[in-house]
Amino acid sequence: MTPLGGSGLEFTAMMNKALVVVLLILCVAAAHAQDGFSSGDLAGTRPNAGGEPDEITVRLGLLDISEIIDREQVFVADIFVLVEWRDARLAVNEAGTHLRTVALDTIWHPRLTIVNNRGLDFLLPEVATVDGEGNVTVRQRFTGPLGVDLDLREFPFDTQRLQIDIVSYEYSPSEIRFSDDSELVARLDQLNGDGWTFESLEPELYEYRLRKDGRGAAGLKIAVMADRKAAYYIFTLALPMTLILFLAWMAHWLPVDLVPSRMGTASATVFSLIAFGVSFRLTLPKIAYLTVADRFVLYSTLLVFISLAVIVLTIWWANTDRKDAAERLARRARLLFPLLYGFIVLLTFAM
């Protein structure tokens, strides 16, 4: 009886050990499945499917705006973004923070894209951090050009809205919404955009549509206002143009019978003005309207051609025994020219 009883005890002990091993394997497998988030439901179905929209918080840190390129209608920025939401399915019943880092494509995420991306470089890996309560955080940094629809009618005294359009390419506003905690963080006085001053704007929620009757997508606009510093253009555009006009005015002070000098001076102002206007226009994009600077160049050109016409007329009169009339016209041109210059300056800004 003793050997048989001993064998029974050994068999029972072996069964208990086997049961413990099986339980450990099942626990490890369950933990691995939970930590790995390999379930298709977690990756493909939003947390509140069939219920309220999932709330997404976007905190965008504007590290720098290095330049605004008028001709290409882009601005170059360096941005750090933090996107947060909660997925209760990822919570774990364990003490402590229990932070986990997982690949973004293994869990559900709001499928965000930047609509006005014009060649951004994304610098961080596409991963998410999940805490024990199921709070998900995605961090990303990107740098490069972003498209902007510049309104240059008041150039060089213009103000531009530099916008970052964040849109979910898969979910509508009834499925996700951007929270009121979404914000722009920036030290605007330290941005490197030369020739501009910046002011932050409040984020705006909107519904993005490719066409009026198309399906809407949840969108968030984060923007800053950029105010161009006009002093540079006053010295590089207005001052040289004024000097060219001054040269055209000086031609009327020469004797009316001094034909070569008067015609040479007048012709030089015309060619200088045309060359200057063309080179200036090449710095701007192809737009179908006139800017303030364009109007100033246009009106200055008209004034120079009127001046040239007066000089030709006085030369003709001087060569046809009407020298007195030519000198009277030249004296009137000396008085009228500065008045006309003041008029075109007022007209430039009045329209």
Q: What is the pLDDT of residues 34-75, one digit of tens each?
A: 444 444 456 778 999 889 999 999 999 999 999 999 989 999
Q: Is the pLDDT at 76 greater than 90, yes or no?
A: yes
pTM across the whole model:
0.77
Task: Report the pLDDT value the prediction gives residue 5, as an integer from 0 to 100.
Answer: 46
pLDDT at residue 22 is higher than 50: no
pLDDT greater than 90 at residue 351: no
Q: How far is CA 134 from CA 22, 40, 97, 109, in A?
A: 29, 17, 10, 13
Strand partners, 185: 61
Helix (H, G, I), strand (E, B) or coil at 342: helix
Residue 176 pLDDT: 96
Q: How many other C-beta atoms can be found within 10 angstroms of the C-beta atom of residue 271?
A: 10
The answer on pLDDT for 96 being more than 70 is no
pLDDT beyond 80 at 7: no
- pLDDT reported for residue 120: 96
Q: How far apart are the first and last CA of the chain?
A: 116
User: Cβ(62)–Cβ(191) under 8 Å?
Assistant: yes
Is residue 280 over pLDDT 90? no
Question: Quick one: which of 87, 91, 107, 86 has its CA closest to 44?
Answer: 107
pLDDT at 94: 64
Alpha helix positions (H), the chain: 2-36, 40-44, 231-233, 239-250, 259-281, 292-318, 323-350
| Predicted pLDDT of residue 286 | 83
pLDDT at 194 over 90: no
pLDDT at 95: 56
Average pLDDT, the chain: 86
Q: Note the pLDDT of residue 64.
A: 96
What is residue 162's DSSP assignment?
E
> Any idea what DSSP says for residue 117?
B
Q: What is the pLDDT of residue 29?
A: 42
Question: What residues form DSSP beta bridges with 146?
Answer: 75, 117
Percent of the chain topping pLDDT 90: 56
What is residue 262's predicted lDDT score, i.e. its pLDDT?
85
**135-171 pLDDT, tens digit each:** 999 999 999 999 999 999 999 999 999 999 999 999 9
